[in-house]
Structure 1
């Protein structure tokens, strides 16, 4: 490993104990940093520009620094530069590379900054892109659901409460429920983006530095909408920012968990309302007859994995003000949580496209008792009976319930948002506005 940035000596040798301690403290850091390394380089470019604006770098030196950082990015993306255990972390790798390429000039890059604000700004840039992708994925799911809601607007699906048959519903209403949910999730991702889009670069280790850093310039160059003003809060917000991001992903995966539950139930032989495509199913290693919706079940489980990451960060934030080394462990939890959620969400539109609805089975599952609420409302309208009296009358006179057209029943349910009035155009307009 290269000499740690904080080392008091210039010697490279470490005792066996020191190596064990180093492995414990930062063994995974360099691996995790591969996911945010490009963001760290991007922030280093902005920091170098800021240093040039206050005279730490000359214009010529800035050009050299920026050229070297661009080359480092290219080498990293082409795998000709590997972030490995030669380095303590990505931050030390950047400084090492600049020093190797530019000598004494490379050693000046760390003027006015700490690894604390370095990791904070790289994490913010990563989180911004993660939220942008989350919004895009949510909109794609919403669009898929809206398309299917229009296609199956009047196709019968029994409605359930308490897992008991309740009223006649429609596949259009089921798909529309998730279309609206993922509009909400996209909006939430957008709101979280604006909340976290603030620049911690220049707050150093949590107490500022004795330089007139041009933080407005780095804020503008890095595309932040404002700078995070107080250096102590910049440290205290570590972990808090990550929780905000994971919370937005949790909202999306919570809806996926419910969708996956529905599909798992509806695809059983007992329901037989829908079949999941073969690409999302597997067989059994011992039972030739099995057609298991494994991918759907793992989508359902993704929420639990994400909650694990969220709880890991939340649990370690019982800390006093200022930087504590505990905060290092927020990085792995954030990256794991986001990666898990993104893999799941990416597959959902394709999953929805494979569904085959068994319309005959859905219609056969409708029974006369499911029209009880319709009949009670009819008594209110046609016979001016108070609703509570109509309710009791139907409750004690099920024999009066006759089988009727399920399609006509859902057509007559015209309250805003219900089967006969799904208001798909309004959801579509909201989707377009979010896009």
Structure 2
């Protein structure tokens, strides 16, 4: 069944090609389409396009559909293009001509966008909570291992003393920024396009503000053309935010892969987290972190794919946009999986202690040592040159007792303030007011 059916059959190969995998992905939109359809029916009744009996019939059918689509094994029959045609068929089959009225003053275009907007808004909210949970885990581990020192590197060269607390809390604070980006994407998705029809409105006297309220959107997308322009644009904005989070997870996973290697030996994991080799019995491979790194990086490419599809599309709907739906949903599925497996795996980490007692890390304290000279009154540049000379002539004696006390250093991680930033990001999507807190 097709919403656009006019008694002319479509060649099977064309139909299969154009429908694609819509039925699979529309399962995730079904509950949102039912919700929006119920709000649309209520609005049609208020505006005089449905009798009360007709409204009650439609709401009864939609309530039955809501129960159907909530089942884990729900699937859209192959005789339907998508969930949107299935909903109208179900209502028409049950109530006759009353079911045919559900499509009054709307198009499949705004019907799809509305369901997608709701799906993205809910999915972003769940992702924000999942990201915040992972950030809180990093802060817990940072607190637990705050005093265990590790080498800090620049250019992959030994640089300055760091700590497990400083390293992991860096990622916790970076995740705060990722949450801000996710919250910003949710602002775009939380707009109501329903009633814009095919992109140019209609000559029905409908109440779009009422459907906005009934559905629970934050605000209406006013302009009908702008409502249609959400399709593709909204997916790109959401995937960009997901990709940014993916990049953070990928970078942390990359660090772990490096630090697990025997040449570094900064940390280890329980055997149940690692995998082996088919030929080398001693191997404990970081496969899980390598895959997190790869999948997080691959998300960057999805954003580029969507942007490429949108390039030079004229104003109005185009079937090209069908391809953005699986990209969007698969991005959500991937990032949620990464957060879940990363949270489980990271809890099995054991940091190596006494790392900095190794001779190869002696020069980690060169900056601390020259800063001690500066604190005693020597100009910085003179202290720098003296330190370089001492190193060159083997007269360097490291000062390992210098205290790091400023906010954000190994001696003052500022975990409480990072935690406040995290909660501010989750609650309001910005850090306003935190700069004055001590």
Partner Cα distance (1:161, 1:241) in 2: 38
- The one of 3, 6, 9 equivalent to 1:8 is 6
Q: Distance in 2 between the 1:5 and 1:181 partners?
A: 46
Alignment of 1:3-402 (within 5 A): 4-9=2-7, 14=9, 18-78=11-71, 82-318=75-311, 319-361=313-355, 363-364=357-358, 367-382=361-376, 384-398=377-391, 399-402=394-397
**Per-residue deviation, 1:265:** 0.5
How does the TM-score come out when normalised to structure 1? 0.93
Q: Distance in 1 between matches of 2:307 and 2:283?
A: 41
Q: Report deviation, 1:82.
A: 2.9
Deviations 1:113-134 (A, max 9, x none): 0010011010001100111012
1:418 is aligned to 2:413: no
Asked if 2 retains the 8 angstrom alpha-carbon contact of 1:368 and 1:401, the reply is no
What TM-score comes out, normalization by structure 2 length?
Answer: 0.93
RMSD (Å), alpha carbons: 1.7
CA gap of 1:98–1:431, structure 2 versus 1, over 3 A, is same
**Which SS does the other structure have where 2:160 is aligned?**
strand
CA change 1:81–1:386 in 2 (3 A) is closer
SS at match of 1:168: strand
Greater CA drift, 201-210 or 53-62: 53-62
Q: Once the 2 structures are TM-superposed, how far is the Cα of residue 303 of structure 1 from its aligned partner?
A: 2.0
Gap regions ≥5 residues in structure 2: 428-438
3-state DSSP of counterpart to 1:237: helix
Q: Is the 8 A contact 1:43 1:222 kept in 2?
A: yes
Q: CA deviation at 1:366?
A: 5.9
Q: Could you tell me how far apart the structure 2 residues matched to 1:133 and 1:19 are?
A: 39
* Deviation at residue 430 of structure 1 after TM alignment: 2.4
1:270-291 Cα shifts (integer Å, max 9, x gaps): 1111112334321123322221
2:206 is paired with a residue whose SS is coil
Instruction: Number of aligned residue pairs: give it.
Output: 423
SS of residue matched to 2:204 = coil
